[in-house]
Amino acid sequence: MGIDAAHYHPWKTNPGGKLGGPLLGAWRGVAAVVRTTLLQLMRRKAYWAIYAVGISQFVVYWVVIYALTQLQLPSGTQRGMLNTFGFSIEAADPQDTGYLDFMEQQSYVVMIMLAFCGSLVVGSDFREGTLPFYLSRRLERRHYILGKLIALVGLIWLFTVLPALILFLEYGMFTTSTDYWRANWRVVPSILGYGTILGVVLALWLAAISAYLQKLAPIAVVWSSLFVLLGRLGFMLSRETGIREWVLLDPWKDLRLAGRLCFGQFRTAGDAQLSATAAWILICVSLVALLALIRRVRAVEVSA
């Protein structure tokens, strides 16, 4: 029997293969990993329960925008809502940070969703030994990693970028002209930029942690320690010692500062000064996470 009859695939992508040429084949391989990952997750009721919790915040913002644009509210009430939610009724107001605030406030639910996803879509590949199934196809390590990261970024966007863009559309639609969209068009690339930072950083960190810890409980312990504990410790150290840099212990704070670089808006001058350091912290930690992830996948590739 020839080797072809056994349906083994050559390791490298090759022109004329079933997946197409090297570039197209690789992309289709990545797309297959993304599709499988998303389907694997969306079949779970728990995911939709978390999504329902996550979307409740969106509903609140939706109602606020509706109220701001459609109702004649007393000026005090309107100002209070503006302060609370960060929106401005003036077109192209530089203080209009409602979308960024919304994305920031999704942090808790994104954290929980990612803890769940990490164990399910990355940890289980290592725990249940399904990674060799991917790697035995015409997929290489980089395709697998890229596919998983894109899927995780997509999930993060479903909770942050997508609802933020819908809110922006809603704001424009509820006004009588297209002035709001014209005046604030920079909001869209800003949302996408912040979303990309959020997605790439969180996906890399989560994939690396999940590849090593695999089970939900330890992932949840480490993940919540990173995003809740470090934030609190950083805040207390900063307040009690007077050294502002301690707030950079908080990964959310770093993400926010890096995100505000995209929006070009900072709450204080101090935030503007810290934003570059925050961006460097994110880049360094993300690189370490990427190297750790590659190393972990390589170990499985060798042992498989």
Partner 1 sequence: MRTARAFLTLWLLSFRRLFWSIGTPMLLLPIVACIMFLVRRNYGASDDPVQAFHAFSMFLLTVFASFLVPLCALAFGTAGLGGDREDRTLLFLFIRPLPRGLILLAKYFAALPLVLGFTVGSLWIFCKLAGAPGRAAFDAYLPATLYMSVAYTSLFHLFAALVRHSTVAALIYAVFMEVLLGNVPGIVKRVAVNYYGRSLMYDAGVEHGLNAPDAQWFDPYPPADARTALWAIAIGALVAAWLVFRTREYEEPT
For the chain, the helix, strand and coil percentages under 3-state DSSP, each to the nearest 5:
80, 0, 20
> Which residue(s) pair with 17 in the sheet?
20
Which CB atom, from 55 or from 216, has the smaller least distance to partner 1?
216
Radius of gyration of the chain, Cα coordinates, nearest whole angstrom:
22
Residue 294 sits at the vertex; the CA angle it makes with 28 and 18, to the nearest 5 degrees, is: 20
Q: Is 210 in contact with 118 (CB distance < 8 Å)? A: yes
Residue labelled with tokens 């690789």: 26
Min dist CB 120 to partner 1, Å, is: 9
Give the phi and the psi of residue 34 in degrees, each rounded to 5. -60, -50
> Which residue(s) pair with 20 in the sheet?
17
User: Which residues sit at the interface with partner 1, rule CB under 8 A?
Assistant: 44, 46, 50, 53, 108, 111-112, 115-116, 213-218, 220-222, 224-225, 228-230, 232-233, 236-237, 240-241
Q: Token digits for 198?
A: 């959020």
Please give the distance of CA 219 from its chain centroid, rounded to a whole number: 17
Which CB atom, from 26 or from 248, has the smaller least distance to partner 1?
248
Min dist CB 3 to partner 1, Å, is: 36
Which CB atom, from 39 or from 236, has the smaller least distance to partner 1?
236
Which CB atom, from 4 or from 240, has the smaller least distance to partner 1?
240
Min dist CB 215 to partner 1, Å, is: 7
Which CB atom, from 186 or from 295, has the smaller least distance to partner 1?
295
Min dist CB 250 to partner 1, Å, is: 12
Min dist CB 260 to partner 1, Å, is: 24
Give the phi and the psi of residue 17 in degrees, each rounded to 5. -70, 175
Min dist CB 221 to partner 1, Å, is: 5
Residues with Cβ < 8 Å from 178, sequence gap 6 or more? 172
Helix (H, G, I), strand (E, B) or coil at 20: strand
Which CB atom, from 32 or from 285, has the smaller least distance to partner 1?
285
Where does residue 36 rank: exposed (0-12), middle (13-18), buried (19+ CB within 10 A)?
middle
Min dist CB 64 to partner 1, Å, is: 18
Which CB atom, from 89 or from 230, has the smaller least distance to partner 1?
230
Count other Cβ atoms within 10 Å, centred on residue 77. 11
